[in-house]
Amino acid sequence: MSYQVGITGTNFGSSQGSSTVTFNGTPVTIYVAWGASGKSITVKVPAAATTGNVVVTVGGVASNGVAFTVTPQITSLSASSGPVNASITITGTGFGANQPGGTPVTFNGVPANPTGWTDASIVVPVPASATTGPVIVTLSGVPSNSKTFTVTAGVTSLSLTQGPVQMGIVITGTNLGTTQGTSTVKLNGTAMPVVSWSATAITVQVPAGATSGNIVVTVSSHASNGAAFTVSPAFGCS
């Protein structure tokens, strides 16, 4: 854990000396301050701490214990945006060695199903119905801090993966937006004429001068994943 905790009490001694503080049995390694009045101690919560009693031991004699709840803390996301089903790694502390039951991870309130879990990281796909908002890890009813994740457009398939100029293609995806508005579709950087647009499907044409590469949909300035398309010679009869 990276956060500090102040402990208030009596008879702690004017300096630390050989005295110790433990969190549910885990010793503190970083002491920020030990009050000369013998009434206050400031420590950093140890990385391996778990929920339980905080105990101060002075001269080999342990104090009473005061309950302290270790909350999960998110320090970063491997990506701050991405499409549905993208795999995201949540890095932090206090997640526990094993994944608990229930719904420990949510994307803007939508439950997610982690595929990997350690005390310091969680691997989780963005759930199908997720929307932009906070990612939160909740353990034993205690929520972590949050990190904002933006759910972007995602291309799931193309009706054709190759074809000539002017060929019509249907792009199937998620979070494409109900209307085009300022959104764009490009093939290897070249804008594609749009025939129709819906939240799950866009019909476009292969533009003149286009070259083979990825088809990318950009919605609200966020680019989707790319889907490979090969521009082939025009059909002809001989």
What domains are defined for the chain?
Answer: 4-68 (no CATH), 73-151 (2.60.40.10), 154-231 (2.60.40.10)
Percent of the chain topping pLDDT 70? 97
Q: Helix, strand, coil: what percent of the chain each, to 5?
A: 0, 50, 50
* CA distances from residue 146 to 44, 74, 200 in whole angstroms, order as listed: 21, 7, 29
pLDDT tens, residue by residue, 199-210: 999 999 999 999
The pLDDT mean for the chain works out to: 93
The position carrying tokens 């709840």 is: 69
Indicate whether 39 pLDDT > 70: yes
* CA distances from residue 190 to 121, 156, 218 in whole angstroms, order as listed: 39, 20, 13
Residue 198's pLDDT is 96
CA angle 146, 151, 152 (to 5 degrees): 150
**Among the listed residues 100, 119, 105, the one whose alpha carbon sits nearest the alpha carbon of residue 1:** 119
Q: How far apart are CA 31 and CA 159, in angstroms?
A: 62
Q: Output the pTM of the full model.
A: 0.74
Q: How far apart are CA 36 and CA 14, in angstroms?
A: 4
Tokens of 160: 């054709």
Residue 27's pLDDT is 96
- Report the pLDDT averaged over residues 90-116: 92
- Report the pLDDT averaged over residues 116-128: 95
Beta bridge partners of 228: 214
**Among the listed residues 121, 10, 110, the one whose alpha carbon sits nearest the alpha carbon of residue 72:** 121
pLDDT tens, residue by residue, 1-18: 568 999 999 999 999 999
Q: How far apart are CA 126 and CA 114, in angstroms?
A: 9
- pLDDT bin (cut points 50, 70, 90) of residue 235 is low
